[in-house]
Amino acid sequence: MPGVQALCSCDGAKESYEERQCRLMNELPGHLTDYDCPLCRNKGYIYVLNETGELVCRKCRCLGVRESYRRLRQSGLAPMEQAYALEKFRPVDELARRMLAHAHAYVKAPRGWFFAGGQSGSGKSHLCAGIALKLLQQGKALRAVLWRDEAARLKELQCSPGYTSELDRLRHAPVLYLDDFLKTQGTDRGARRAPTAGDVNLAYEILEYRYMHPELPTLISSEWHSGEILSLDEALGGRILERARDHLLNIPSKAEYNRRVCPLPEEGGREEKKTHKALFFIA
């Protein structure tokens, strides 16, 4: 769609009546919330002159961003907007600093995939959610899902006519965030249970499209390391390794790295030096 300025300005020449009407109507403020759009001024629509010079109204692209915020609230992920902002991620040690540096680098150039896998409670979801929110604030529509809930929902739809269209919502999302990727119900003793073949096939169906379109930012947090996913399914794991190679974070699975259980050391404190020499690795 041509930009409003291209259609509604006259490059310094005298404005026509239609151009003036278009400009004045686009300057009117709206009252939509969640995102401050400089294009439609929060109306949700813009006026343009079509090929015959007629004034027409079109939906603004910010509606996709606003829909992302609505889905965020409905999904139960809305609290992450306050709790999981990147500004609240504490870089108290070498691991945290390197994780945060990768996150900031990805926000600046969000191409390909960002993968954070390994120890539960190490800040993976915080980091991915923070990136997702930054991209949303930049005007990129987001679809964020909890893998186990979304996988169960999609598997129930597999024999229905709407299955493909539901898959396409994830495949084609301008920004996709899969939280707790490949997470399944644990055993009675709390151990991880390997994902089923159905889970792996579903993951492949979603990620294969995005593998072919690396310009679509894809964020993945998982309790599985990338190497473990490779062992589960070479095709799926190989795609993650290739597309996330510049931002591939694997945190060793050790209880001492669970920040929910083991409190973070104070920033600049003495504990900082005795932790995490081999805590972060790229696989």
Q: Give SS3 for 174.
A: coil
Q: Is the pLDDT of residue 200 over 90?
A: yes
3-state helix, strand, coil in the chain (%, to 5): 45, 15, 45
For the stretch 165-198, pLDDT in tens is 999 999 999 999 999 999 987 655 567 789 999 9
Backbone angles phi, psi at 47, to 5 degrees: -105, 135
Higher pLDDT, 47 or 1: 47
User: How long, in residues, is the chain?
Assistant: 283
Domains of the chain as residue ranges with CATH: 16-60 (no CATH), 64-274 (3.40.50.300)
Which pLDDT tens digit goes with each residue over 224-240?
999 999 999 999 999 99
Token pair, residue 94, equals 């070498």
Beta carbons within 10 angstroms of residue 66's beta carbon: 18
pLDDT at 59 over 80: yes
**What pLDDT was estimated at residue 275?**
33
| Contact between residue 41 and residue 28 where contact means Cβ atoms under 8 Å apart | yes
- Looking at the DSSP bridge assignments, the partners of residue 56 are 48
- Position 53, amino acid: G
The count of C-alpha atoms lying within 13 angstroms of the C-alpha of 85, restricted to the half-sphere facing its C-beta, is: 6
pLDDT digits (tens, 9 = 90+) for 65-84: 888 778 777 655 566 667 78
What stretch of H or E contains 205?
Answer: helix 197-212
DSSP three-state, residue 222: strand
